[in-house]
Structure 1
C-alpha cells in the first residue's frame, strides 16, 4: 500500500556513471522512503522509522543526518519484492471502476502505456542520479532547480502521501460498517454503523496514539502484510467472479425484486434485482463522463518513484542496469495483478462496479465468511499503515519549518493532529474515493512519474546535448506529462462542476 516518502538534507556525493557503481566511494548521505512500504537500512530511528530495515544496524556515534557509505545488501529477489510492494497500493481497488468506464481494450492499452511510461521515468531517474550525484528525490530537485525544485518535489510527494492516507481511511469508512453489521445484524441507522463516526473513532483511538510515537519499528512489518492482503484480495475477486450470477443481483428497492434460487452462489441477499442481459456483455471501448478518471487512477496505482533511488542504494552489487531489471520485473508483476483484479472485478459487476471494488460486494452479499476475512485483513493493514504514511510527511513539514530547532513534543503533537484532522476532513466531506484517486493521480502522481524525472534529467545530465535522442525523448515525456496533468485536471474539475449542478447525476460511491 502506498506509503510516503520522507526527505532529509544530505551531503552531495558522487556516483560513478559506470554501469557497476558498487565500488564507488562517496561522502555521507541520507535517503528517503517511498509513498509505499519498503524496508531500508537507516541509522536514525528518531527521524524516519519506516526507512529502517526490519533489523537495522545503528551507529550511535554518527550525527543525526549522516551515515557512512556502505554496500547494499538487498538481493535482486528481495528488491523485486520490495519494489512490487512499493508499487502495490489502495489504487488496485479503483481499477475495476476504471475498466468499467473505459472498456476492456482501452483499459489494457492505458494500463500498458502507464506501466511503460513509469519504467521510462525509472530509467530517467537512475541516469539522473548517476549524473547529479543524489539519491534523494528532493535533493535532485534542489540540484536541478534550487529551492523551487526541492519544493516542487516535496509538495508532490506530500500530496501523494496525503492522498494515500485518505484512500486508506476511505477503506475504513466503507468497510468497517459492513464488518460491524455482519456481527450485529442489520442496523437501523445506529451511530456505530456510520462510516464518518467510525473513521473519527479509529483515528482517535488507534491511529493517533501510534502516530505520536517517535519511531514505529515493528510497524515496518505492515509492508509485507499489506502486499499479502492485496494478493488475498485478488484471489477472492477471481473466485467470486465464478460464484456471482449474471444478470447481476443487486440490493435496490426501486427495481423489480426477484429471488435468487441458485444456492451455490453463497449467501446472496434474498432481495435481489435482475438486470437485463445487456449488462452481462463486456464492453471493449467505453466513453462517458467518468472515463476522465481512468488515467489518474492508473497513475495513482503505479506511482512509487521516490522509492527507486533509496532502493537503488540498497541493491547488492548495484548497477543501473541491475536496478532497471528489478524495476522491469516488479512492474510486470504488478501489471499482471492489476489487470487480473480489474478484469475479474469488472466481469463480475459490469456497469455496477463502484469506485472502491471491495465495497461493491456488499450490494450482493449480506454475509460471507471469505469476504469478511478479506475486509478484516485489509482494514488491519490500512489502519496500521496510516501512521507509517504520516511519519515522513510530518518529518518533511518539520524539516521545512523548523530544521534548525531541537525536537519538541508540542510541535510534534500539533503537526500530527493537524495532518490527521485535515485527512479526516477530506474523507468525511469528499463524496467518494474516486475523487481522491482522480485528483491526486492527475496532479501529484503525474508530477512524480512524468514531469519531475524528465525535468531533472534535462537539467542535470550535461553530457548529452539537447539535440540528442535521449534529451528529445525526455522533452517529449515532459510535454506528455504536462498534457496528461492539465487535461485530466480540467476534465475532472468540469465533471465536479457538472455533478454539483446536477445532484441526481452525482454518484456518491456508496
Structure 2
C-alpha cells in the first residue's frame, strides 16, 4: 500500500538502518500493504460482485506475493539491490525513465486522492461540532482542503529529511485497525436497516476489470521489497519467501474482512470512499473518519517526498538547491490541490491510479525483468506463470483504463444518502426493496 512512502524512493538496500528479524520485517510489510488504499476495497466488490470480487482479491494477493518474490530473484540474477537498478540493468536507461514516470504518477495521483478524502471526511467531522452547520465554512470541502494544505501538508512537505516524517507507521497501523473494527461493528448494527439493492449477491458484474485496478492500488508494495529484504539479519530467498507469504496472507485476510463488512452494509450503494456511505450523525463513523483523516494528513507529505525525489533524480541529478526544493514542492502540492478541488469522485481516482500506475508496477515490470533475465523460454516451465502474469497485467491496464474513461462510475459527491434521513430510517428497516428504491427516488427529487 501507500502508507510506507519511503518504499517508493530510489534507496539502496544497504542504506536501511540496522538489521531486523523476520517478525519485524513482516510487520513493516503488512503495514505497507494495509493502509489508505483499503478504503476503496468495499467499492471494488460493488464493481465486481461479491463472489467474483473476493476471487479477484485473492488473485491480486497471489500475484502480489509471487511478483514480490520475483523482484528479489531478479535482483539476485542481475546483481542489483533496488527496483530502479534492476530495471536499469535489465532494460537500460529507457526502462529506468519509464519506471521513474510510473513512480511519479503513483504517489502524485495518491496525493490527489488524499485531498479528496480529506475534503469528504473532515467536513463530516466538523459538522458534528456544535455550532457548525451546513452553511459553515468548515462544512465546505474546498475550504477544508485548502486549509489542510496551507496549515499542514505543505509545511510538512517542505522537510528535506524524510526521517522527520517516517515515525507514523505504528500510529497509522493502529488507526487502520480501529477503522476496520468500526466498519465491522456498523455492518452488524447498520446493515440490517439497509435492504440490499437488486442483484446485490450476484456472482459477477461487467466492470470487474476496474475493480482489479482498485485492488492493485490497495496492494502495491513492491517498491519497498529490496529495502525490507536488505533489513533481514539473514537475507536469503527462503527467509524472504516466508516473510512475503506471512505478510501478504495476513494483509489479504484483513482486507477481505474490511471489504466484505463494508459491502454487505451498503451493497449497491457502496461508494469509492466507504465513509461517504455513513450518515453524518453517526458518531462512531465520525470517530473513524477522524482517525482516517489524521492518517491521511500525515501521510500526504511522504507521498510528496517521493514525487519530489523522482523529479530531483531526473532533472537535478539528485541534488536540489534550497530554492529549487521549495519551488518543486510548491508546484507539486499546488497542482494536486487544484485537481482535488475541481474533482471529488474518489472511486475513479483509485481506478485510474490502479490501472495506470499500480498494475504495471505490480504485474508487468517484475515479470518482464525476470523473463528477460531468465535463461528459459517464456512459455516453458516456471516461466509460464510469469508470462501469464505479464499478459494479465497488460490486459488489466489497457482494458481497465479504457473502461474507466468510457464508463465512469457515479459518486454521491458528499450528498447524504437516502437512508440517513431520520424520518425514513425506521421505514427502511421494514420496507421491501422496491419501496425503498421508490423512497430513494422521491428523496433525491426533493433534494
Same fold (TM over 0.5): yes
The question of whether the paired residues in 1 share the 8 Å contact of 2:39 and 2:274 is answered with yes
1:393 aligns with 2:393: no
Alignment RMSD: 2.2
TM-score normalised over the length of structure 2 = 0.87
- Within 5 Å, give how 1:160-199 maps onto structure 2: 160-185=106-131, 187-199=133-145
Q: 1:134 to 1:278 in 2, by over 3 A?
A: closer
Map residues 461-480 of structure 1 onto 2, 5 A cutoff: 461=374, 463-466=375-378, 468-480=380-392
Q: How many residues align?
A: 413
Distance 1:186 1:281, change over 3 A: farther
Instruction: Report matched runs for 1:288-367 at 5 Å.
Output: 288=206, 291-362=208-279, 365-367=280-282
For 1:189 and 1:88, locate their aligned partners in 2 and report how far apart those are by CA, in whole Å.
Answer: 36
Distance 1:506 1:344 in 2: 20
How many angstroms apart in 2 are the aligned matches of 1:428 and 1:414? Answer: 21
Q: Distance in 2 between matches of 1:472 and 1:304?
A: 24
Structure 2: distance between partners of 1:347 and 1:506? 18
* Alpha-carbon distance in 2 for matches of 1:471, 1:278: 44
Measured after TM superposition, the shift of residue 132 of structure 1 is 0.8
| Superimposed CA distance per residue, residues 136-193 of structure 1 (whole angstroms, 9 cap, x where no aligned partner) | 1111111111111101111112211112222222221111111111003562423221
- 1:449-490 CA distances to partner (integer Å, 9 max, x unpaired)? 1110011112223x4345641333322321221111111111
* Counterpart pick for 2:405 among 487, 493, 499: 493
* Secondary structure at the counterpart of residue 24 of structure 2: helix
Q: Deviations over 1:110-152 (max 9, x none)?
A: 0011111111111211110101111211111111111111011
In the TM superposition, 1:142-157 aligns within 5 A as 142-157=88-103
1: distance between equivalents of 2:411 and 2:292? 28
Paired residues for 1:224-303 under 5 Å = 224-244=170-190, 246-248=192-194, 277=195, 279=197, 282-288=200-206, 291-303=208-220
Structure with the largest fraction of helix: 2
Instruction: Determine the structure 2 residue equivalent to 1:426.
Output: 339
1:102 shift after superposition = 2.2
What is the distance in 1 between the residues matched to 2:47 and 2:316?
Answer: 45
CA distance in structure 2 between the aligned counterparts of 1:351 and 1:6, rounded to whole angstroms: 35
TM-score (norm 1): 0.76
1:75 to 8, 16, 21: 21
- In the TM superposition, 1:22-171 aligns within 5 A as 30-31=11-12, 42=15, 53=17, 73-171=19-117
Residues 373/167 of structure 1: CA separation in 2 closer, same or farther (3 Å cut): same
Q: Residue 506 of structure 1: CA displacement?
A: 6.5
Alpha-carbon contact 2:102-2:357 (below 8 Å) kept:
yes
Larger radius of gyration: 1
Q: Per the alignment, in what secondary structure is the counterpart of residue 74 of structure 1?
A: coil
State the distance in 1 between where 2:414 and 2:402 align. 21
Tell whether the 8 Å contact from 1:7 to 1:138 is kept in structure 2 after alignment.
no
Match of 1:445 in 2: 358
Which residue number corresponds to residue 2 of structure 1?
Answer: 2
Q: Is the 8 A contact 1:138 1:151 kept in 2?
A: no
Which residue, out of 481, 484, 505, partners 2:393? 481
How far apart are the structure 1 equivalents of 2:363 and 2:302?
A: 26
Structure 1 residues not aligned, in runs of 5+ = 9-29, 33-40, 43-51, 54-71, 249-276, 500-504
Show CA shifts across 1:319-353 (max 9, x none): 11211111111111111111111111111112222
String of CA shifts for 1:253-298, please: whole Å, max 9, x gaps.
xxxxxxxxxxxxxxxxxxxxxxxx553985142425x544211111
Which segment is superposed worse, 328-337 or 90-99?
90-99
1:391 CA drift (Å)? 1.0
Cα drift, residue 507 of structure 1:
5.4
What CA distance in whole angstroms lies between the structure 2 residues aligned with 1:103 and 1:7?
A: 36
